[in-house]
Amino acid sequence: MKRSLFAVVVLGAGLAFAQGSSGKQGSSAKSGSSAKATTPDPGAAPAQEKKTTAAPARPPPPDINRMPFTPDTIREVMQYHSRDIQDCYEEILATKGSNVEEGRILTTFTITPDGFVRNAKVAKSGTTLKNTRLHECVVNVISSITFPPTPDKREYPIEYPFNLKALK
């Protein structure tokens, strides 16, 4: 019996990573808090509320409990977490300076029947960014991702590339 291989490919040019402030450290707080709406003061100008320009709040993760297990949903989940991969890259850039250039990281992992990630790693061939700390961070992010359960209770090997470049 053949095992299916879902090869999920992301076009690097199609990914746009938008971050509000690149100078902030401590990006580990993933649950962005936003100001709660209050009843406006009748004497206050309505434009005052609109002038606060905070970084856009991160949308909630895809609801894997309502998603089927398809290549499109795998891509959607991975695109959501690509921001975390970009954070890994930006952190390395901040500590290493300009020695780390833009490039590609090819990841491989297995999705278990329950939707968990197992055996996440960075493939040596197909990866142009050769930074051990970056690879460890990427593996940690990939290992923490959860996908919809597989319909046939089988494991699915995945290859997923990330094309990384500095945000300015």
Structure tokens at 113: 């029947």
Q: Which residue has the higher pLDDT, 59 or 28?
A: 59
Q: What is the pLDDT of residue 69?
A: 94
CATH number at residue 81: 3.30.1150
Q: What is the pLDDT of residue 10?
A: 33
Q: Which of 23-27, 48-52, 99-103, 120-124 has the highest mean pLDDT?
A: 120-124
Range of the domain at 82: 1-11+67-168
- Asked if the structure places residue 19 within a domain, the reply is no
Determine phi and psi for 112, rounding to 5 degrees: -80, 165
Task: Provide the CB-side half-sphere exposure for 63 (13 A, CA).
Answer: 2
| Measured distance CA(104)–CA(16) in Å, rounded | 15
- Asked if the structure places residue 148 within a domain, the reply is yes
- Asked if the structure places residue 130 within a domain, the reply is yes
Helix intervals (H) in the chain: 47-50, 71-96, 132-143
Q: What is the pLDDT of residue 64?
A: 85
Number of domains in the chain: 1
**DSSP assignment, residue 151?**
T
